[in-house]
Amino acid sequence: MISVTSDHLSRGAFVYVRQSTNNQVLHNHESRRRQYGLVYRARALGWAAVEVIDDDLGRSGSGVSRPGFEKLLAAICEGRVGAVVSVEVSRLARNGRDWHTLLEFCGLVGTLIVDEDGVYDPRHPNDRLLLGMKGTMSEMELSLFRQRSLEALKQKARRGELFLAVAIGYLKTSHDRIEKDPDRRVQEAITLAFTKFGELQVSPLSSHRGRPVQQS
């Protein structure tokens, strides 16, 4: 068991909160409550100064720009972080580059990593090995999620049920139906466009071939 020293406690504990998508932010409130609840875990371990970084709500941990993660790394490099606290490794990073960068920085300045399972010191070989395995499993898990999602999309495409986007002025409703936007102004604009197209189009096979096309 890694001991939390006075040196760690003299610096702050930084709780990193992240959810991968805006849909999760809107609907998965329990996950967010668990993550914010880590403030109490940090205080139970002895930290009086606890800071929450939640700038990355709605951002993937797979390598996209994450201002919250960058803020965390900067604070670690400045020597202000005694522990990084997160529910699990996947909240901190879903790719090897970010994960191992975090481990290197924490190891250099003596910052602990805390999750719901335990307290780890990246300077200790055994802890470093375990953290490395956790990061690898998190990255692999994301790859499996992507593969399953891609296969599901392919199956829908084979059935002719895949709609990645619909034309402007239309909406995808329940049961994969495509309907006009309920906004009357949008409907009128679509109707006008089709009406004008019918009035002004010239068939290339009509008797007007060779004649100049009238400009509206």
For the chain, give the DSSP string. Answer: -PPPPHHHHHSEEEEE---SSHHHHHH-HHHHHHHHTHHHHHHHTT-S-EEEE-TTTT--SSSS--HHHHHHHHHHHTT-EEEEE-SSHHHH-SSHHHHHHHHHHHHHHT-EEE-SS-EE-TTSHHHHHHHHHHHHHHHHHHHHHHHHHHHHHHHHHHTT---S---TTEEE-GGG-EEE-S-HHHHHHHHHHHHHHHHH---TTSTTTTSPPPP-
Residue 186 in domain: yes
Q: Percentage of residues in the chain with pLDDT exceeding 90?
A: 37
Q: Do 129 and 187 belong to one domain?
A: no
Residue 208 in domain: no
Residue 44 in domain: yes
The pLDDT, as a whole number, for residue 204 is 46
Residue 25 in domain: yes
- pLDDT tens track for 87-105: 887 788 878 888 889 999 9
The pLDDT, as a whole number, for residue 132 is 83
Indicate if the pLDDT at residue 167 is higher than 50: yes
Would you please indicate which residues are annotated as catalytic (active-site) residues? 20
- Per the structure, the complete domain to which residue 61 belongs is given by 6-144
- pLDDT tens track for 38-67: 999 999 999 999 999 999 898 876 767 889
Q: Do 12 and 115 belong to one domain?
A: yes
pLDDT band at 205; cut points 50, 70, 90: very low
Domain count, the chain: 2
Q: Do 40 and 108 belong to one domain?
A: yes
Residue 211 in domain: no
Higher-confidence position of 59 and 161 = 59
Higher-confidence position of 180 and 131 = 131
